[in-house]
Amino acid sequence: MGYNEEKQYQLDVRYLRMARVWSENSYCLRRRVGALIVRDKMIISDGYNGTPSGFENVCEDETGRTKPYVLHAEANAITKVAKSGNSSDGATLYVTASPCIECAKLIIQSGIRRVVYCDAYHSEDGVQLLQRVGIDVVQVDAKALTEQARREGAL
């Protein structure tokens, strides 16, 4: 790996670690997911999975299934950046779990050009759709997040 690739990898791991910390804001019990949108090395939006504004912070029904109106972290980050007036054109999305097919469609429409994630979602449909339209999709091994944190004294 060349110098530029190594620097990019280090940035990717750092932003994914930050997205993982951001996921701690989620009230979801089954899976907590965090997302950051970064353009020109600046975080322009963030999100985590949860219920829409005005709803109770309960993501699962009495059987433990995720309620159908729960928003994914990517959708929250994309709608937040749209509401702010910022542009996500050409940005990178860092998300702790790979995007589902619905979020992949939002990512495509938002102009995001790169997606970096660590954990795989139960379906690869979203990743395949992103790759089909030429969006760069990168998976970082979750162990790398912990290793880098240890090296940098964050653990």
Is residue 56 annotated as part of the catalytic site, yes or no?
A: no
**H-state helical runs in 1-155:** 3-23, 73-84, 101-110, 125-132, 142-151
User: Helix, strand, or coil here: 137?
Assistant: strand
> Long-range pairs for 19-25 at CB < 8 Å and ≥24 separation?
19/46, 19/73, 19/94, 19/95, 19/96, 20/96, 20/118, 20/145, 22/46, 22/47, 22/48, 23/48, 23/49, 23/73, 23/96, 25/50
Active-site pick, 74, 102, 124, 152: 74
Report d(CA 65, CA 61) in Å as an integer: 6
* Amino acid in position 130: L
Active site residues: 74
